[in-house]
Amino acid sequence: MDGRASSQTITDKIPYFLTAGVEPIVFSAITGIKDKRFDHKQFLAWGPAAFRFDFRHWIANQYGRGLFYKISTGLISLLLAPFIVIEKFFLGYSSQWSWAIPAFIHGLKLIRSGQVDLIYSTGGAWSAHLAALWLRKKTRLPWIAEIHDPLIIRNNITDEGFEKPKNRDAQFRQYLEKQICKYANLVWWFTDGALHYAKVRNTNLNTPNNARGCVVIPGAQPPVNLNESSKHSRHTYSEKLNLCHFGSLAKDRSLSTILKAIIELVKEYPEAREKIQVHAYGAPLDELTKQAIEKFNYSDVLIAHGRLEKDPVTGKSGRERVVEKMQTADILILLHGNDEWCAEYIPSKYYEYLWTGRPIWALSHRNAQLDALLEERGAYLSHASDEKSINIALEKIWLDWKNQQLVEPKWLPIGVDQAVTKILSEVQKIT
């Protein structure tokens, strides 16, 4: 799916796997574009909630979001409503769980026909790991798992994830992590923190694997429209200091934090009120940001551009358009969040940012690995829970911009090739 982080992480690896002689058979939902380079099978989830979700995306891809979309999706939602209530009442899982059923059935047929040597689950959606677990138990084929986001969300610094969650979906994810660590031949996580806590929870399992795993930094593929000259050319300053954020927003990852810092900056430098603009791309504004815009009367300061889709005139994909916007930014904002799980998570957008050559202002939270990556490459760094450090960083950015001396980050992007090399070397050990 164009621009979606979990899909992008997978898709970017494919050319390197193909070059290495891997012959993938990919199972996915119907919500994305079908790949023509290899056998790509797309399945509808069988549960009513996931069917409704997939149907909406499929209709939007086929016919747009006009009148037909509204009528057809409204009708489907109405028809499925009682079944969704029943599903939620008896199971309580996130909607995508049921995709594992068709994936398992079709995977079993392929394995029994001798077409598969290795099971590789990746996500994102935990239904992929569930389908792989069932196939591993049924066929005993080697299984490797790639965990994008932690399956267990810890609540605080003392919480290691052992306590039984109250939410049934969280309970199942806790069970699934144990099963992955017990049955998978190899597991990798995207951060040091995620691997650490997974091992803490699973090293006592009665299995030779004992949460056997490693860290694979996913990186990002160089953009196809990367302006090579921008690596070394002098940045063009405009009349506005443009701070740009790309990606999703939420209460724990809100641009209201930036707007509050601008209020403090304006007290010291009144002229900044007319010179700073914050641009939000890729997602609707969160409620806290909306409230801050209204409270501070900042509708002219924060510009919400929404999601950049494929341009029918130029033919550029949403991802290509996003990269162009990134390259023209004065500052790229990286909001890490302020929840405990940030210790186990690095936003995938960070790896895209590195390919633009633009300075990053990161508001990080309890993640030494992310801080080290930022400091090594040159960035403005604040801590999300420290309002003073945020205000200081914005003041430095303002003064650097006025003097046309914004930080020039080191050109040290992290590509996907290093991730694939590590994956293949680890797989070689188990096969």
pLDDT in tens, 213-242: 899 999 998 877 665 545 556 789 999 999
pLDDT given for residue 2 in this prediction = 60
For the 5-220+418-430 domain, the top CATH level (class) is alpha beta
pLDDT given for residue 208 in this prediction = 47
Best CA proximity match to 408, nearest among 372, 379, 382 = 379
pLDDT digits (tens, 9 = 90+) for 76-95: 999 989 999 998 888 989 88
Q: How is the chain split into domains, by residue range?
A: 5-220+418-430, 228-402
Is the domain spanning 228-402 CATH 3.40.50.2000? The answer is yes
DSSP tag of 413: -
Regions of the chain with pLDDT less than 70: 1-5, 204-211, 225-233
Question: Is it true that 5-220+418-430 and 228-402 share their CATH fold?
Answer: yes
DSSP string, 162-214: -SPPSSHHHHHHHHHHHHHHHH-SEEEESSHHHHHHHHHHHTTSSSSSTT-EE
Q: What separation, in Å, do the N-terminal and C-terminal C-alpha atoms of the chain show?
A: 31
Burial of 10 (C-beta count, 10 Å sphere; 0-12/13-18/19+): buried
Return the sign of the alpha-carbon dihedral for residues 364, 369, 370, 375.
positive
Best CA proximity match to 128, nearest among 45, 185, 58 = 45
pLDDT given for residue 230 in this prediction = 52
The structure's pTM equals 0.88
